[in-house]
Structure 1
Amino acid sequence: MRLGVIADVHGNLPALEAVLSRLAGLAIDAVVNLGDCASGPLWPAETVRLLRASTMSHVRGNHDRALGALSPDGLGASDAFAWRDLDAEARNWLAALPFEIEIGKARCFHASPQDDETYLLDEIESGRLVAAHPEAVEALIGAAGSAVVLCGHSHQPRLLRLGNGTVVVNPGSVGNPAYQATHPSLHVSESGAPHARFAVVTMADAAAVEHHAIAYDWEHAARRAEANGRADWAHALRGGLVLAST
């Protein structure tokens, strides 16, 4: 089975369109979306419509869960923008997505098996995301082994094979190559490039993993972010780096 794996689209419609077009030419059997579909100052409603029209499977990300709120009051700027752009049906669809699913031999969730905000393949070191130690990953996954574990959330493309043979994959972010976060402490995630990321996992006796980074019109996306008052997003979209504080 060849499984296309996407995550963290964050409302970036042209990036999603480019990724789906590329996947269509790669002899994929199925596609899974690991969540955080719409949050961001780009095209939330159009992105959700495209995702819902597809045949892919989905799990719920932390920002998808947040968009189930009754009002945008108290949400962060990116979530609030998406909440206002989406209708109630779309918000409810996002919030009702499953926390975890299995596809073939793959266990799929947004962040970790414990919750949707705990990094699995990453940890914070000196205010930046770095690769987590295998022992920490094993502790989060637990004793029940799966051939393949798929996660997103950190926006960092990663691959780790554990001692029991389990292959853990983060495909990186389709639509948001850099961000700054305050939970669980202040840190940044930077991919260092504006490309749209996804992965292809071939599940056989030994899992094979292909990480893809493809070009799309990120300048168009950056201009959209600027038009919606988000210079920080525009900077991230153009270079995969966080805008330095002044």
Structure 2
Amino acid sequence: MRLGVIADVHGNLPALEAVLASLAGLSVDAVVNLGDCASGPLWPAETVRLLRASEMSHVRGNHDRALGAASPEELGASDSFAWRDLDAEARNWLAALPFEIEIGKARCFHASPTDDETYLLDEVEGGRLVAACPEAVETLLGVTGHAVVLCGHSHQPRLLRLGNGTIAVNPGSVGNPAYHATYPSLHVSESGAPHARFAVVTMADAVEIEHHAVAYDWNHAARRAEENGRADWAHALRSGWMPRSR
């Protein structure tokens, strides 16, 4: 089985379109979306419409869960923008997505099996995300009989083979290559390039992983962020880095 894996679209419609076009030429049998579909100052409603119209499976991200709020008043800027752009039916669809699913030999969730905000393959060190040690990943995963574990959330493309042979994969972010966060402590995630990321996982006698970085019109996405008052997003979209002045 060849499985296309996407995550963390964050309302970036042109990035998603480029990734789906690339996947169409890669002979995948199915596609899974690991969540955080709409949050951000870009095209939340249009992105959700495309995701729902595409033939793929979905799990719920922490920002998808947040968009199930009754009002946007307690939400952060990116979630609040998406909440107002989406209609109630779309918000409810996002909030009702499953926390975890299985596809073939793969276990799929947004962040970790414990909750949707705990990094699995990353940890904070010196205010930046770095690759987590295998022992920490194994402790967080617990006993699993799956050949493959798929997660997103950190926006960092990762690949790790654990001691029991399980392969853990983060495809990276389709639509948001860098961000600042405060949980579990203040830190930055930066991919270092503006490309839209995804992965293809081939599950046969052996497991093979392909990480892909697709070019798209990120200047168009950055202009959209600027129009909506988010210069920080615009900088990240153009460069894969957060502004150094912050």
Map of 2:129 onto structure 1? 129
For the residues of structure 1 that align with 2:245 and 2:65, how far apart are their CA atoms?
A: 29
Displacement after TM superposition at 1:205 (Å): 1.4
Other structure's SS at 1:225 match? helix
Amino acid corresponding to residue 36 of structure 1 in structure 2: D
The equivalent of 2:87 in structure 1 is: 87
Tell me, yes or no, if structure 1 residue 105 matches structure 2 residue 105: yes
Cα distance in 1 for partners of 2:237, 2:65 equals: 24
Q: Aligned equivalents of 1:144 and 1:191: distance in 2? A: 29
Residue identity matched to 2:179: Y
- 1:201 equivalent to 2:207? Answer no
Cα deviation for residue 10 of structure 1 reads 0.0
What CA deviation, in whole Å up to 9, does each residue of 1:27-54 have, x standing for no partner?
A: 0000000000000000000000000001
Helix, strand or coil at the partner of 1:232: helix
Partner of 1:15: 15
Distance, in Å, in 1 between the alignment partners of 2:91 and 2:243 is 29
- Paired with 1:144 and 1:171, the residues of 2 have a C-alpha distance of 20
CA distance in 1, matches of 2:97, 2:244: 35
After superposition, residues 65-214 of structure 1 pair within 5 angstroms as 65-214=65-214
Distance 1:42 1:143 in 2: 39
Off by >6 Å, runs of 4+ in structure 1: none
Output the CA distance in 2 between the equivalents of 1:137 and 1:86: 35
Distance in 2 between residues matched to 1:171 and 1:205, nearest whole Å: 21
* Structure 2 unmatched ranges of 5 or more: none
Q: In structure 1, give the amino acid aligned to 2:27.
A: A
Provide the rounded CA distance (Å) in 1 between the counterparts of 2:125 and 2:245: 19
Equivalent in the alignment of 1:52: 52
Letter in 1 for 2:220: H
Q: Report deviation, 1:206.
A: 1.4
Alignment of 1:37 with 2:37, yes or no, is yes
1:128-157 CA distances to partner (integer Å, 9 max, x unpaired)?
A: 000000000000111123100000000000
Q: Quick one: distance in 1 between partners of 2:37 and 2:99?
A: 14
Stretches of structure 1 that go unaligned for 5 or more consecutive residues are none
* Distance across 1 between alignment mates of 2:52 and 2:154: 23
Counterpart residue type for residue 24 of structure 1: A
Q: CA deviation at 1:58?
A: 0.1
Q: Which amino acid aligns with 2:77?
A: A
TM-score, length basis structure 1: 0.99
- Offset at residue 244 of structure 1 (A): 2.0
TM-score between both structures, scaled by the size of structure 2: 0.99
d(CA) in 2 for partners of 1:150, 1:238:
27
Measured on the aligned residues, the alpha-carbon RMSD in Å equals 0.6
CA distance in 2 between counterparts of 1:89 and 1:184 reads: 31
Distance in 1 (CA, whole Å) between partners of 2:166 and 2:28 is 22
AA aligned to 2:231 is: A
Look up the equivalent residue of 2:14 and give its one-letter code. Answer: P
Shift of 1:20: 0.1
Residues in 2 aligned to 1:115 and 1:143: alpha-carbon distance in whole angstroms: 16
